[in-house]
């Protein structure tokens, strides 16, 4: 018979059972104890600041941790850093020896600085963007991207993690060459603001090229497209590097920078930040979940970038332009806005109107939301109206600006600016509307590469319109000369070149130009009405409410406390 006995801790124990004793700790040698203590200090932190740093390190992007480990072990990073150090030392010795004896009394810092910057352009403009391209492409080739998509990381976190690796490599390269650049200041002939200007231009341009490389790699899904885009990217990097060397050779040559130089640098940085954010939105949508609403985030970014660009250029036109050149500057701004929305719209026209069920859960449901936000829904129809309305608002605002700041007696300036903006709007509505009608009537069964094919169709329409109108003009004038007539209105470059406001005179005001603009407006209006009538099926889509089970799961996941393993999933990203 089994008896029950109390144990020292108060629990009951059967008589045939023996009390469980804790397993003895393994005995360690003194050197092993010291090693274990060191490991414990590294993991838990010896001081409060160590513990804070360890806790803050958990907030880092896991992609940054993974790529940094791989970069420190890769031969590409090691050899590039070694070669950069050797070349910098070689240029320093050769330049200083060549400056003797004038180095004691002459200002030789600018020439030495330019050599350092040319050396720095090679790794920052060529090697780092190519490394980022291969890093993103290898995730798709090696199948590790599926592991990343299954983790808690979002698609935007993956791209920003890749970009942060490029920033970290830039910091390493800049730290190698920083002492030598400080030497150029000691040799006189260059100021600290010029050095800061040079470094900011190189740093920001390298980040912009790395952003383009990462986004292009995320858009290329096949090996053939990766090879093609890699070659195109390399050519673009070489052109950017040569152009940067030319700009750096002329920028601040006297060592004195004015307010205009810093203003233009600020504008340049703001444009890079805005379009970099837009490109990252496009890349994250390309690698995101197919059933998600991937169009609306891109359109929000397009709208924000367009408005910021319009307000910024308008501010520059008002601050640095006089009354005589104001209209030309506003014409240039509206032209850049036309290129911005034209390029975006030529890609949007290839979108399919089929919205997944999961994406329909994010559609606006209120009356005001449906009135103002329906044009951001996925599909070519809402995209067409979104582009037209966005460009019309910004361009016409720029055109009306002279009515508020110019002399009312100069009427030709105001009329020319408004006519030019209306012509741009008409071309945008006409060509994008024709491309969308082609996809609705001719290419409606096309399933793959619709976005790229839409852009190609837009380019083909422009080329055909130029060739056709030039041929008709030559034939009408006995193949002697080309003269603008009303049937030349499809030629966007010819018409806009004549209509562009240039000062206080309007040299294009002929009967043929007015007839061409009338035909352009009538054609654009007809195409716009046809597209609006075919957009009704995209507008009447109603929102589908999120199921209760899905909503509860999202709330449970959102309220889940973050642990160290959630922030840094070591296993999928271990090198």
Q: What is the tens place of the pLDDT at every residue in 389-402?
A: 888 888 877 767 66
* Distance, CA of 324 to CA of 4 (rounded, Å): 106
> What is the rounded end-to-end Cα distance, in angstroms, of the chain?
60
Residue 73 inside a domain? The answer is yes
Q: 278 or 68: which carries more pLDDT confidence?
A: 278
Contact at 8 Å (CB) between 285 and 294? yes
* Distance, CA of 73 to CA of 52 (rounded, Å): 27
Lowest mean pLDDT among 175-184, 475-484, 505-514: 505-514
Q: What is the tens place of the pLDDT at every residue in 488-498?
A: 888 888 888 88
* Distance, CA of 279 to CA of 136 (rounded, Å): 15
Portion of the chain with pLDDT greater than 70, in percent: 66
Q: What is the tens place of the pLDDT at every residue in 356-391?
A: 666 666 666 666 666 666 777 777 788 888 889 888
Position 83 scores a pLDDT of 86
Residue 351 inside a domain? The answer is no
Average pLDDT taken over every residue of the chain? 75
Position 314 scores a pLDDT of 67
Q: Which residue has the tokens 């603001």?
A: 193
Residue 542 inside a domain? The answer is no
What's the number of domains the chain is made of?
A: 1
Position 428 scores a pLDDT of 92
Residue 385 inside a domain? The answer is no
Residue 179 inside a domain? The answer is yes
For every residue of 503-566, DSSP letters joined together read TTB-TT-SHHHHHHHHHHHHHHHHHHHHHHHTTHHHHSPPPPPPPHHHHHHHHHHHTSPP-HHH
Q: Which domain holds residue 231?
A: 64-255
Number of H helices, E strands in the chain: 24, 2
Which residues, at least 6 apart from 474, have a Cβ–Cβ distance to it below 8 Å? 481, 482
Residue 221 inside a domain? The answer is yes
Residue 283 inside a domain? The answer is no
pTM of the full structure: 0.74
Q: What is the tens place of the pLDDT at every residue in 461-471?
A: 999 999 999 88
Looking at residues 503-527, what average pLDDT do you find? 77
Residue 416 inside a domain? The answer is no
């Amino acid at each position: 018979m089994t008896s029950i006995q109390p144990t020292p801790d108060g629990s009951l124990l059967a008589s045939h059972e023996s009390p469980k004793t804790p397993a003895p700790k393994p005995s360690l040698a003194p050197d092993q104890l010291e090693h274990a203590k060191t490991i414990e200090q590294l993991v838990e932190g010896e001081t409060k600041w160590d513990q804070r740093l360890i806790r803050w390190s958990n907030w880092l992007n896991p992609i940054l941790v993974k790529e940094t480990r791989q970069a420190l072990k890769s031969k590409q990073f090691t050899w590039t850093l070694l070669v950069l150090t050797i070349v910098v030392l070689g240029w320093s010795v050769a330049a200083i020896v060549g400056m003797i004896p004038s180095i004691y009394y002459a200002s030789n810092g600018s020439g030495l600085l330019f050599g350092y910057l040319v050396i720095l352009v090679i790794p920052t403009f060529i090697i780092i963007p190519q490394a980022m391209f291969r890093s993103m492409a290898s995730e798709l080739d090696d199948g590790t991207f599926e592991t990343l998509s299954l983790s808690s990381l979002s698609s935007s976190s993956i791209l920003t993690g890749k970009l942060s690796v490029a920033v970290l490599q830039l910091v390493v390269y800049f730290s190698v060459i920083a002492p030598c650049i400080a030497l150029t200041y000691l040799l006189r002939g260059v100021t600290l603001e010029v050095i800061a200007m040079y470094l900011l231009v190189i740093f920001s341009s390298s980040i912009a090229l790395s952003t383009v490389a990462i986004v292009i790699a995320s858009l290329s899904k096949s090996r053939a497209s990766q090879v093609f885009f890699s070659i195109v990217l390399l050519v673009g990097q070489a052109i950017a590097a040569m152009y940067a060397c030319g700009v750096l050779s002329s920028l601040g040559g006297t060592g004195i920078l004015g307010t205009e130089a810093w203003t233009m640098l600020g504008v340049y940085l703001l444009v890079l930040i805005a379009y970099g954010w837009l490109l990252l939105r496009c890349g994250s949508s390309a690698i995101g979940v197919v059933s998600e609403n991937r169009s609306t985030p891109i359109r929000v970014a397009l709208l924000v970038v367009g408005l910021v660009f319009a307000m910024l250029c308008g501010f520059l036109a008002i601050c640095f332009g006089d009354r005589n050149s104001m209209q030309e500057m506003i014409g240039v701004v509206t032209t850049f806005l036309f290129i911005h929305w034209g390029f975006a719209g030529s890609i949007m026209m290839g979108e399919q109107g089929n919205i997944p069920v999961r994406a329909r859960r994010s559609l606006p449901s209120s009356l005001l939301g449906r009135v103002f936000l329906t044009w951001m829904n996925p599909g070519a129809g809402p995209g067409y109206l979104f582009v037209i309305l966005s460009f019309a608002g910004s361009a016409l605002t720029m055109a009306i600006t002279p009515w508020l700041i110019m002399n009312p007696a100069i009427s030709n300036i105001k009329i020319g600016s408004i006519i030019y903006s209306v012509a741009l709007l008409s071309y945008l509505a006409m060509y994008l509307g024709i491309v969308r009608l082609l996809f609705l009537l001719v290419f409606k069964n096309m399933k793959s590469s619709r976005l790229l094919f839409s852009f190609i169709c837009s380019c083909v329409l422009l080329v055909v319109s130029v060739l056709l109108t030039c041929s008709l003009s030559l034939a009408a004038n006995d193949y002697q000369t080309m003269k603008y007539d009303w049937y030349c209105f499809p030629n966007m470059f010819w018409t806009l070149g004549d209509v562009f406001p240039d000062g206080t005179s309007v040299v294009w005001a002929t009967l043929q130009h007015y007839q061409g603009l009338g035909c352009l407006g009538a054609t654009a209006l007809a195409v716009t009405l046809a597209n609006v009538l075919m957009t009704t099926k995209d507008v009447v889509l109603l929102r589908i409410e999120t199921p209760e089970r899905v909503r509860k799961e999202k709330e449970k996941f959102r309220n889940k406390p973050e642990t160290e393993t959630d922030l840094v999933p070591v296993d999928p990203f271990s090198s």
